[in-house]
Structure 1
Amino acid sequence: MQLIEVNDKSTRKQFHTFPYSIYKNDKNWAAPLQGMVEAIFDPEKNKTFRNGKAIRWILQDDNRQTVGRIAAFINFNLAKTYNQPTGCCGFFECIDNQEAANTLFEAAVKWNKENGMEAMDGPMNFGENFVNHGLLVDGFMPQGYGMPYNPKYYEKLYRNFGFEVYFEQYCFHLDYTVPFPERFWKIAGWIAKKPQFKFKHFDFNETDKFVKDFCEVYDGAWSSHEHYKPLDPEDLLDFITESKAILDPEMIWFAYDNEKPIAMFVMLPDINQILRKLNGKLNFWGILKFLYYKKTKTMTRTRIILMGVDAKYQRSGIESGIFWHQNKLMQKKPQYTEVELSWAGDFNPKVIALYEATGAKKAKTHYTMRFMFDRTKKVTKAPIIGMD
């Protein structure tokens, strides 16, 4: 087998096309837009390169057929927040062959070691963690936008190499045609009508204000958490600009105590329901198809990618107030019948309790795995965020 660094047009093409051979008979998989994946590895487009670095490879067999791929990367700001400097790997795809998988993992470990790391997490994204993050181990269903998807045998390849579970992430699914529990709506309506609380959905005409409010809520919600790093407002502005075609302002909400931003809620339409029809390419015809399917209400699912509440208000029920206002607008969008509530870590019982209170059911489990370079050390699971 031959490991080849991705550094030219030919190897980049193979990096993007190889997954099609893995998922050719899997109708649950949605080919990601190749341009969006490529942008992750472009220092001019991905600001994580400001204090990070990345590399990727493809693996070919003796007949020069591609049998795997992987990327390794380090966000030096994040790496220093763990007990040991910790790098990452991701974008792993491989045939069901342990030797091939080991070759890919070993390359990522070696590169991370050479760059001062003592452990490696995966599968991860080189950037924000609400996309391309986690190994699917339970709930093999049609892939939602931004949600990682992989064959069942990948867990075996990771574990046999020596990866251990660092934390679990759960996704809950909500049938929007079924009413929320009465008790939830009673609390939500009471909170939503309190005079000191105000609720506003996003407006592109006030982008700068909402970006500022987003960063303030983010800081209030997560600054005390392990591995916290402040948001860069420019990164958020870039995300909004790049995602304008898929963002629905009426699916992004903020809550205020008088004028102070205290909570936020971000939901996206599941554009994977369209991307499955585009085969990973957004050329001229692909754009026309995208706009057509969007207009004809092909999307019936949404995904909540983020919900944050200032720590001082986390026992106030303010989240339910956001749901109350959101539901009033969703009634005008009857094409949406399912909501995916994602990224509830096993370390975050507050979020799990909130999702369960809506009547949502646990549908998927992803693992974030860790490999310790010192093989005498065991992985310590991510600490639980307290309920108080």
Structure 2
Amino acid sequence: MIIAEEVLNYSQKKEFLEFPARLYQSDKNYIRPRNIDIEDIFNPQKNKFFKEGECTRFLFINKNNETVGKVAVFINKTYLQQQPTGGIGFFDCINDQETADFIFDYCKNWLQERGMEAMDGPINFGERDKFWGLVIEGFVEPLYGMNYNFPYYKDLFENYGFKIYFEQLCFSRPIFGDVSRVFTVMHAKHSKNPDISAKPMTNNNLEKFAADFTEIYNKAWAAHGEGKRMETSKVLKMFKTMKPIINEHISWFVYENEKPVAMWMNLPDTNQWFKYLNGKFGIWEKLKFLWIKKFRKNEKMVGLVFGVIPEWQKRGLEGYMIWEGTQHLRKHTDFKVTEMQWIGDFNPKMIKIAENLDTKVTRKLATYRYLFNRTQAFERHPEL
């Protein structure tokens, strides 16, 4: 017998955080997320999606008063789909199909009562850049803000009837690996152009780089027909938030006569530091974080954004930028590998860009969908 408990009080909130830590305690690849990053998602004062949605967390308890699973279930009105579709996320469960089925049934009933006709998971009650998708290949240490799970979770979802709505591909390459000859040829070509220059992003001029980022991002992403336009003020706020972890050797901008035309934005993978803090980030942990950051080498960086304005696309400028930045960071940093944030398999244009950066798929996640009407034809995410 299993009962569901809505997460309402302090002890239940604590258990929601502690259960996965116990579940994964013998898994060397598991990195506990920061408690604050999880709790902020369920705080209406911190998460703007509560203005247009509804979210509830549940713990699942067996007859021995032991937690055997947990989940968040939610409705996000900005999550537009062909049929009303709710979401489930932050799912953790023992390796037992009956327990998982109970949890999924509970979520389905909760969503049906609110007019939903399908559920996607595991996804986030928020943006896609964090805690989105189920790991199905590449069970290695997760990047900061990335989900991690046991391999058996795939069976729990698929045995219930979930189907893959889209795959999330993570591309990676070794910093000291061979660089495509195309890159070096293009670097040699553009280096001869006195109008072209490359500059690393520095902390003492964030206002300029925020403006440059905004200009490139809006031009480049508008060309792909997707993504939201960004405002310089919001980008600057984001940069200032990232300032404590910005490495001044790994984010690069390219200019034509001082006009921004391309960018390659990277950050250190903070999980390589956070993994020593056991999810906490109080005063003591912040001091410990600063010590670890100073004395422990971080060998992994994360590619956040790559963009070239339309006028310079297909002219090899990315090769110039990648090789210029790579030569520099090889000399001035300890990084050995870079991994890009995931790209959906529905986005062949971005996948082609990633492949052209001389990368390989090293990790896959999946966003699953379950249609409540079991006779309805299932369709994968449409291609962009």
State whether TM-score is above 0.5: yes
Give the C-alpha shift of residue 19 in structure 1: 0.4
Deviations 1:321-349 (A, max 9, x none): 33133214312334111111231322233
> Which residue does 1:40 correspond to in 2?
41
Give the C-alpha shift of residue 200 in structure 1: 4.1
* Identity fraction in percent: 38
Distance 2:231 2:53 in 1: 15
CA-based RMSD of the aligned residues comes to: 2.7
Deviations 1:77-104 (A, max 9, x none): 2x22x32233322111111112222232
3-state DSSP of counterpart to 1:384: coil
Give the C-alpha shift of residue 231 in structure 1: 4.5
Write the letter of the residue equivalent to 2:48. Answer: K
Query: Which segment is superposed worse, 316-325 or 226-235?
Result: 226-235
Does the alignment pair 1:246 with 2:249?
no
> Which residue does 2:8 correspond to in 1?
7
> Which residue does 2:117 correspond to in 1?
118
> Which residue does 2:321 correspond to in 1?
322
User: Which aligned pairs between 1:130-141 and structure 2 lie closer than 5 A?
Assistant: 130-141=129-140
Distance 2:378 2:230 in 1: 28
C-alpha contact 1:48 1:75 (8 A) present in aligned 2? yes
Distance 1:303 1:291 in 2: 20
Q: 1:341 to 1:7 in 2, by over 3 A?
A: same
Distance 1:196 1:381 in 2: 45
Write the letter of the residue equivalent to 1:43. Answer: P
Give the C-alpha shift of residue 236 in structure 1: 4.5
In the alignment of these two chains, the number of paired residues is: 383
The runs of 5 or more residues in structure 1 that have no matched partner are none
The runs of 5 or more residues in structure 2 that have no matched partner are none
Give the C-alpha shift of residue 255 in structure 1: 4.1
> Which residue does 1:303 correspond to in 2?
302
Give the C-alpha shift of residue 183 in structure 1: 2.2
Deviations 1:175-218 (A, max 9, x none): 21223122222124434664555544434444445444444444
Deviations 1:303-362 (A, max 9, x none): 113323445654343333331332143123341111112313222333333433444332
Write the letter of the residue equivalent to 2:34. Answer: L
Write the letter of the residue equivalent to 2:370. Answer: F
Q: 1:322 to 1:44 in 2, by over 3 A?
A: farther
Give the TM-score of the pair, scaled to structure 2: 0.88
Distance 1:261 1:89 in 2: 40
Write the letter of the residue equivalent to 1:179. Answer: D
Deviations 1:96-152 (A, max 9, x none): 112222232233333333444332222212223222111111111222222221100
User: Which aligned pairs between 1:35-184 and structure 2 lie closer than 5 A?
Assistant: 35-77=36-78, 79-80=79-80, 82-184=81-183
Q: 1:197 to 1:143 in 2, by over 3 A?
A: same
C-alpha contact 1:297 1:335 (8 A) present in aligned 2? no
Query: Which segment is superposed worse, 316-325 or 272-281?
Result: 316-325
Distance 2:158 2:25 in 1: 25
Does the alignment pair 1:372 with 2:378?
no
C-alpha contact 1:217 1:308 (8 A) present in aligned 2? yes
> Which residue does 2:18 correspond to in 1?
17
C-alpha contact 1:52 1:76 (8 A) present in aligned 2? yes
Distance 1:2 1:227 in 2: 43
Distance 1:235 1:52 in 2: 23
Distance 2:204 2:48 in 1: 25
Give the C-alpha shift of residue 267 in structure 1: 1.4
Write the letter of the residue equivalent to 2:38. Answer: V
Q: 1:190 to 1:128 in 2, by over 3 A?
A: farther
Deviations 1:275-323 (A, max 9, x none): 2221111233322221112112421111113323445654343333331
Write the letter of the residue equivalent to 2:264. Answer: F
Distance 1:341 1:352 in 2: 11
Distance 2:187 2:319 in 1: 5
